[in-house]
């Protein structure tokens, strides 16, 4: 099961900061996550960078990136400060 750390608005809706999703790759993960969240996560991915185990999917295999047990998926937006 891969671990999904959704953006804050979604985690508030789900009542959880982390949700486990069983999927062989990111594409399937987004499909199952969408059912769970009640919104299209593929569309959300146009607003957020998707990171798997800390790495942007641009440097992996994009939406075809395979997912294994304990892999971690984050949706993040650009930010700054410090």
- Residue numbers of the site for another protein (CB under 8 A)? 3, 5, 7-8, 11-12, 17-18, 45-51, 53-59, 62, 74-82
CB closer to another protein, 39 vs 48: 48
CB closer to another protein, 11 vs 34: 11
Beta bridge partners of 72: 3
Sequence-distant (6+) residues with CB within 8 A of 7 are 44, 48, 75, 76, 77
CB closer to another protein, 15 vs 78: 78
Residue 35 burial by Cβ neighbours in a 10 Å radius (0-12, 13-18, 19+): exposed
């Amino acid at each position: 099961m891969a671990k999904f750390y959704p953006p804050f608005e979604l985690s508030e809706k789900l009542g959880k900061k982390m949700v486990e999703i069983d999927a062989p790759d990111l594409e399937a993960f987004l499909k199952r996550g969408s059912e769970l969240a009640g919104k299209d996560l593929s569309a959300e991915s146009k607003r957020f960078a998707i990171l798997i185990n800390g790495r942007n999917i641009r440097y992996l295999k994009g939406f075809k990136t395979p997912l294994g047990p304990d892999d971690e998926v984050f949706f993040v937006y650009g930010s700054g400060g410090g």
